Amino acid sequence: MIKNHKKEFKKAFVVSVPVMMGYLVLGFAFGLLLVSSGYEWYFAPLMSIFIYAGALQFIAIGFFNAKMGYIDIAIASWFINLRQSFYGLSLLDKFKHAGKFKHYLIFSLTDETYALLTSIKKDKSISIKYFYFFLAALNQSYWIIGCTVGALVGLSVNFNTAGIEFSLTALFIVLCIEQYKNIKNKYPFLIGSFAAIICLCFVPSDKMLVSSIGISLFLLMFLKKRVLNEQ
């Protein structure tokens, strides 16, 4: 497949480099935490292949340690990943012609992959569905590699992971800057910042994500004409 679509693969790799830098580090941290919690190393790659949800995988370690029930885990997981529903709605047109890759693209949609898919410029010289597939697959492969290496290193090396979780924040900042450069529309970023500040001041930490998304959606709909005119 790659042999016949080298151009799409090469572009996907170049675009995915920022995600690679973040996923390798964060995946490494997850692998270390998983092993240090007493679980076998192979759970790291298995979770990364079949679950593939960064934040949820970190939180899952706490679920396992607390011996939560399946229903409790399912409900908590649904709320944690609720934002993906909003992402999916905005990608309906992009995935319409994805063909055999559509289901994998839906499964492999993460915050970082979404940010890249919504910020890259159209290129009619490549097959967009293969580009989307390679981008999503590369991002997941970075996560799998990071998690596996971290788990294997954690078997024999004591590692202090304090502060390493900031890599995720740094990655989001870089992707946000890239989106602004391509979109040149200040309103979504101002609305997002306003919603984040409001939730930081008045909303409990465990409800901040869903609340900030809700406020942002309300403001985007309320200021729809102004946002569209800015484009």
Same-domain pairing of 29 and 95: yes
Q: Are both 133 and 67 inside the same structural domain?
A: yes
State residue 168's pLDDT score: 60
At 221, is the pLDDT very low, low, confident or very high (cuts 50, 70, 90)?
Answer: confident
Quote the mean pLDDT of the chain: 83
Residue 68: how many other CB atoms lie within 10 Å? 15
Residues 172 and 213 in one domain: no
Kind plus residue range of the DSSP H or E element containing 21: helix 6-36
Specify whether 54 is located in the same domain as 66.
yes
- Are the CB atoms for 146 and 28 separated by under 8 Å? yes
Supply angle C-alpha 32, 58, 65, rounded to 5.
Answer: 85
Q: Is the pLDDT of residue 28 over 80?
A: yes
Residues 19 and 90 in one domain: yes
With 60 as the cut, is the pLDDT of residue 231 above it? no
How far apart CA 140 and CA 4 sit, in angstroms, is 21
pLDDT band at 151 (very low <50, low <70, confident <90, very high): very high
Q: What is the pLDDT of residue 53?
A: 85
Instruction: State the average pLDDT over residues 47-71.
Output: 82
Q: Assess whether 15 and 113 both reside in one domain.
A: yes
Residues 160 and 212 in one domain: no
pLDDT for the residue numbered 182: 65
Report the largest interatomic distance among the alpha carbons of the chain, rounded to a whole angstrom: 58
Q: Are residues 222 and 158 in the same domain?
A: no
Q: How confident is the model at residue 144 (pLDDT cuts 50, 70, 90)?
A: very high
Q: What does the pLDDT average to over 210-218?
A: 82
- Statement: residue 48 has pLDDT above 80: yes
**Do both 120 and 228 map to the same domain?**
no
**Which of 160, 182, 204 corresponds to the end of one domain?**
182
- The sign of the CA dihedral 212, 215, 218, 220 is negative
> 169 with 206, same domain?
no
145 — pLDDT class (breaks 50, 70, 90): very high
Same domain for 141 and 167, yes or no, is yes
For 81-136, write each residue's pLDDT tens digit.
Answer: 776 777 777 788 888 888 889 999 989 988 889 888 888 877 778 888 899 999 99
Average pLDDT over residues 24-30: 88
| Domain limits for position 208 | 185-231
How many folded domains does the chain comprise? Answer: 2
Q: Which residues of 182-221 are buried (b: 16+ CB within 10 A; e: fewer)?
A: eeeeebbeebbeebbeebeeebeeeebbebbbebbeebbe
pLDDT surpassing 70 at residue 186: yes
Pair 31, 149: CB distance under 8 Å: yes
Specify the range with the lowest mean pLDDT, choosing from 3-17, 46-60, 70-84: 70-84
How confident is residue 43, by pLDDT bands cut at 50, 70 and 90?
very high
**What pLDDT does residue 136 have?**
94
**Type of residue numbered 110:** T
Q: Are residues 127 and 173 in the same domain?
A: yes
In 117-173, at which residue ranges do the beta strands (DSSP E only) sit?
none
